[in-house]
Amino acid sequence: MDMWLKEGQIADAAMTYKIKETLVTKKTEFQDLAIVDTYEFGRMLVLDGIIQTTVRDEHVYHEMISHIPLFTHPNPKKVLVVGGGDGGAIREVLKHPSVEKAVLCEIDGDVVTECKKFLPEISCALEDPRCEVFIGDGIKYVHEHKNEFDVIIVDSTDPFGAAEGLFGGSFYKEIYECLTEDGIFIAQTETPFYLPDVVKRVYDDANAVFPVTRLFMAAIPTYPSGFWSFTVGSKKHDPKAVDLSNTIDIATKYYTKELHKACFVLPKFVEDIIR
């Protein structure tokens, strides 16, 4: 009998994937966790029935959420990743030689543990000596660390349940205070096809806090609609205007310096959502 994973995050649409093997399922303190091996996308991390990352397309998400802010900042030394227990964002952050310390603040320690076991190509940098893994509440962590980080990456699950507090103006004000004087923050901010209201609300909330706010898009096949938004809030540096001519070359599969500029050119319907 064939086994299929069906993600029904959107009420009137679903995505399905044929499963080769179920590697782990467990109920953690915060959510239902599963890692499955699929025929088309390889191993997948699934939380509360929603796909978080897959071996085949994870590079798109992790490269774009990491390299856009890190190449925008002139000298990022200390980086905080809120969420992102799979370790993919940390892996990309630590490709930047200027980074002296990267802190992963993940509320669910089981995510970190299981990803180390079953997704080693994604979680591999969690053992890097520059990485500190802190298991705890990201909101509390940000509140307790003022003027400390050059870049903050909010690599959260969707704005429901445990991650709901990571979306919104009050948290973005805390992030602003946690950043250094020229700091930059970035968050994944859902799909404009299915959740335009969420995209607009998050953009507006960030725009009310940060002097420079930009939204960009990336193509991620296993996320609903395959068309995903990210929002950048910056105290000084504009990711659209940054000079990338003297930046280092790093190993990537999706991000390029040309794409860094191009991704901020938005389709009209997305411009209309955030206008």
The domain that contains 33 carries what CATH number?
A: 2.30.140.10
66 and 42 within one domain? no
73 and 32 within one domain? no
CA distance 117 to 235: 38
CA dihedral in degrees (85, 186, 42, 11; nearest 10)? 100
> Of 37, 54, 71, which residue is a domain's last?
54
228 and 270 within one domain? yes
Instruction: Count other Cβ atoms within 10 Å, centred on residue 252.
Output: 17
Phi, psi (5° rounding) for residue 21? -160, 140
Binding site per annotation, positions for S-methyl-5'-thioadenosine: 31, 106, 137-138
Binding site per annotation, positions: 31, 62, 86, 106, 137-138, 155-158
Binding site per annotation, positions for spermidine: 62, 86, 155-158
264 and 150 within one domain? yes
40 and 110 within one domain? no
33 and 117 within one domain? no
219 and 125 within one domain? yes
Q: Which residues are catalytic?
A: 155
We report the CATH number of the domain holding residue 188 as 3.40.50.150
> Of 15, 31, 54, which residue is a domain's last?
54
131 and 42 within one domain? no
CA distance 216 to 201: 15
Computed from CA positions of residues 65, 100, 240, 173, in that sequence, does the dihedral angle turn out positive or negative? positive
* Number of domain units in the chain: 2
Q: Which range of residues forms the domain containing residue 195?
A: 58-274
| Exposure b/e, 158-188, CB count within 10 A at least 16 = b | bbeebbeebbeeebbebbbebbbeebbbbbb
69 and 29 within one domain? no
163 and 30 within one domain? no
108 and 172 within one domain? yes
- CB neighbours of 89 closer than 8 A, spacing ≥ 6? 62, 65, 66, 81, 153, 155
> For each of the chain's 275 residues, which pLDDT tens digit applies?
689 999 987 788 889 999 999 999 999 999 999 999 999 999 999 999 999 999 999 999 999 999 999 999 999 999 999 999 999 999 999 999 999 999 999 999 999 999 999 999 999 999 999 999 999 999 999 999 999 999 999 998 655 554 455 556 689 999 999 999 999 999 999 999 999 999 999 999 999 999 999 999 999 999 999 999 999 999 999 999 999 998 999 999 999 999 999 999 999 999 999 99
Helices assigned H by DSSP within the chain: 58-72, 88-93, 109-118, 120-123, 138-144, 169-178, 196-207, 257-262, 268-274
117 and 11 within one domain? no
